[in-house]
């Protein structure tokens, strides 16, 4: 069951007539440093209305796309129940031919997303843009959390690539600190559907300070735009955007950055 808060900019289409669907998952269950991601989907929607629907980068307009906002999943339940419903929702939407943007929430939601996408497409690769490798087998006694999500997701998908990581645990250093756009193209397969997971802490915190676990250094806004452009050659079936913490950015620029990245990703990948 979903509720419908303020919808994302230009998301005026009904589900049946939409090409791209937005779904919020305000999950905040395993956060261990700074809280606030439960407020993120609504903050991103609100921020989107400060922006134009036209992209000067892609030369396309969001209002002409066919965008639907389904509202938020109910997250007042056990974590396993939330991830199971998210898996089912992602499967149904992708199986219906939609492309999907999931607004977190903490990064743990990626596990539900890739489980649903793998069911829909049989084969799946995952590109994770994240300051942290999130490859621990368990964290604080939990095998499913924001700090283990890439390991758990990697057990589901056929291939995983983590880009932008600059915080590692133990043997995680085998992951690239940063891969160029050409390297990303070379490491991914054009034959396998792709899910994109964007943790906002992959950005330099001077550009996007309102995240749960900021890490010095990082990508620029236009680095991410170049990644979106590079993925045009691939079958990107969906994406999630996670770890915004609105209470830690009173200026609101982090939520605006998140909303703008959604607009540019949607128009670049599916416009």
Cβ-based burial of 78 (10 A; exposed 0-12, middle 13-18, buried ≥19): exposed
Q: Per the domain annotation, does 47 fall within a domain?
A: yes
Q: Per the domain annotation, does 91 fall within a domain?
A: yes
Q: Per the domain annotation, does 51 fall within a domain?
A: yes
The CATH number of whichever domain residue 244 belongs to comes to: 3.40.800.10
Residue carrying structure tokens 């758990």: 152
Instruction: Determine contact, residues 107/199, Cβ cutoff 8 Å.
Output: yes
Query: Quick one: tokens of 197?
Result: 């997971």
* CA–CA separation, 51 and 54 (whole Å): 9
User: Considering its fold, how many domains does the chain have in total?
Assistant: 1
Using N-to-C axis directions, what is the helix angle for 221-230 and 253-270, rounded to 10°? 20
Q: Per the domain annotation, does 5 fall within a domain?
A: no
Instruction: Determine contact, residues 227/268, Cβ cutoff 8 Å.
Output: no
State the pLDDT at residue 145: 85
pTM of the model: 0.94
* CA–CA separation, 245 and 33 (whole Å): 11
Query: Distances from the Cα of 217 to the Cαs of 27, 179, 208, in angstroms?
Result: 26, 15, 11
Q: Per the domain annotation, does 13 fall within a domain?
A: no
Q: Per the domain annotation, does 81 fall within a domain?
A: yes
Contact residues for 20 (Cβ-Cβ < 8 A; gap 6+): 65, 66, 67, 68, 98, 99, 100, 101, 266, 270
Q: Per the domain annotation, does 16 fall within a domain?
A: no
Instruction: Determine contact, residues 253/105, Cβ cutoff 8 Å.
Output: no
Q: Parallel, antiparallel, or unpaired: how do β-strands 60-61 and 99-104 relate?
A: unpaired
Query: Quick one: tokens of 47?
Result: 């921020």
The answer, yes or no, to whether the previous bond of 164 is cis (omega within 30 of 0) is no
List, as one string, the DSSP characters of 78-119: -HHHHHHHHHHHHHHHHHTT-EEEEEESSTTHHHHHHHHHHH
pLDDT tens per residue across all 271 residues of the chain = 455 558 999 999 999 999 999 999 999 998 888 999 999 999 999 999 999 999 999 999 999 999 999 999 999 999 999 999 999 999 999 999 999 999 999 999 999 999 999 999 999 999 999 999 888 888 887 888 888 999 999 999 999 999 998 887 755 555 555 567 778 889 899 999 999 999 999 999 999 999 999 999 999 999 999 999 999 999 999 999 999 999 999 999 999 999 999 999 999 999 9
3-state secondary structure of 196: strand
Residue range of the domain that includes 170: 25-270
State the pLDDT at residue 138: 84
Q: Per the domain annotation, does 239 fall within a domain?
A: yes
Residue carrying structure tokens 């990581």: 165
- Largest interatomic CA distance in the chain: 48
């Amino acid at each position: 069951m979903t509720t419908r808060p303020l919808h994302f900019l230009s998301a005026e289409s009904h589900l049946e007539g939409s090409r791209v669907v937005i779904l919020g998952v305000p999950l905040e269950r395993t956060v261990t440093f700074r809280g606030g991601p439960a407020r993120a989907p609504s903050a991103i929607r609100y921020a989107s209305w400060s922006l134009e629907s036209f992209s000067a980068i892609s030369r396309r307009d969001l209002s002409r796309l066919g965008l639907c906002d389904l509202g938020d999943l109910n997250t007042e339940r056990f974590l396993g129940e939330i991830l199971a419903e998210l898996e089912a929702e992602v499967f149904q939407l992708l199986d219906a031919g939609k492309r999907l943007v999931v607004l977190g929430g903490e990064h743990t939601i990626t596990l539900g997303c890739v489980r649903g996408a793998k069911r829909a497409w049989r084969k799946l690769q995952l590109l994770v843009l994240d300051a942290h490798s999130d490859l621990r087998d368990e964290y604080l006694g939990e095998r499913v959390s924001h700090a283990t999500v890439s390991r758990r997701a990697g057990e589901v998908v056929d291939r995983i690539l983590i880009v932008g990581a600059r915080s590692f645990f133990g043997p995680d250093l085998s992951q690239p600190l940063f891969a160029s756009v050409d390297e990303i193209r070379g490491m991914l397969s054009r034959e396998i559907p792709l899910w994109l997971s964007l943790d906002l802490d992959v950005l330099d915190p001077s550009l996007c300070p309102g995240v749960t676990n900021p890490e010095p250094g990082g990508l620029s806004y236009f680095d991410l735009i170049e990644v979106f452009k590079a993925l045009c050659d691939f079958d990107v079936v969906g994406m999630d955007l996670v770890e915004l913490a609105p209470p830690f950015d009173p200026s609101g620029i982090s939520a605006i950055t998140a909303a703008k990245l959604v607009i540019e990703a949607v128009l670049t990948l599916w416009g």
